[in-house]
Homo-oligomer: A and B are copies of this chain.
Amino acid sequence: MNFINKNENKSFSGSQDDLPDIKKKFKLEDEKILEAIIFASKEPVNINDLKKSCPFIEDINASLKNLTNFYSNRAVNLVKIKNTYAFRTLPYYSNHITQTVEKKVKLSKAAKETLAVIAYHQPVTRTEIEDIRGVSLYKGLMDTLLDSKWVNIGQRRDTPGMPVTYITTNDFLDHFGLNTEKDLPNYKELKEAGF
């Protein structure tokens, strides 16, 4: 999604004579513009898109941080998914929300495990997945995972045969409420154990 700044509102670029109070007020305005954009957007908004559409915001990271803090003790939080931002409800309140859940393809045990191998070991080749799971991947498994939009194709591995690698997507992180792959359960422990 793209945002075009219609009228680069001059009032946002304060002169040196501005009082701190007004500055502060303007900062709040920055935040609120970001709030409006992210709230209205259907997909998580990329920080680069935010920068492009709001060139008048001096420190976008600071503004986003303020916004995150503002919502931090609410039922709706501003969450960061890799380099994108979106509002999400807290799991704590899920008991009160019943939505007609979109029917997702139920993943098989093998598919779930393969997804986990990709998540923890990415970028990972087919052979490596098979080595870790100790079994050859059945036909169509990778097809299913790619179809789920949770897995994508990464860079080819720079080894003989240049094998294709697999990685997880932002959709995957968003689905499991993770900010980055590092937030995967036991991620650190696994890496430290050399797996």
A residues whose Cβ falls under 8 Å from a Cβ of B = 1-7, 9, 32-33, 35-37, 39-42, 53-54, 74-76, 87, 89-90, 93-102, 126, 138-143, 146, 152-156, 162-164, 169, 176-180, 182-185, 189, 192-195
A146-B176 Cα distance, complex, nearest whole Å: 11
Q: Do B126 and A192 have beta carbons less than 8 Å apart?
A: yes
- Nearest to A126 among chain B residues (CB) is B192
Copy number in the complex reads 2
- Asked if A182 and B156 make an inter-chain contact with CB atoms under 8 angstroms apart, the answer reads yes
Q: Which residue of B lies closest to A96 (CB)?
A: B33
Decide if the interface of chain A is mainly helix, strand, loop or mixed: loop
Q: 16 interchain pairs (CB within 8 A)?
A: A2-B98, A2-B100, A3-B97, A4-B98, A5-B97, A42-B99, A53-B97, A54-B96, A138-B194, A140-B194, A141-B193, A143-B193, A143-B195, A152-B177, A155-B179, A164-B189
Smallest Cβ distance from A108 to chain B, in angstroms? 13
User: With A41-B99, A54-B97, A193-B142 in contact, do A154 and B183 touch (Cβ < 8 Å)?
Assistant: yes
Beta-carbon contact of B183 and A98 below 8 Å = no
Complex alpha-carbon distance, A183 and B179, angstroms: 24
Known: A75-B33, A179-B154. A40 touches B97 (CB 8 A): yes
The answer to whether A89 and B155 touch (CB under 8 A), given A4-B100, A143-B193, is no
Distance A99 CA – B3 CA, assembled complex (angstroms): 5
- How far does the alpha carbon of A192 sit from the alpha carbon of B87 in the complex, in Å? 39
The interface residues of chain B lying within 8 Å CB-to-CB of A90 are 36
Known: A76-B35, A182-B156, A185-B164. A98 touches B3 (CB 8 A): yes
Q: Which residues of B contact A95 (CB under 8 A)?
A: 5-7, 9
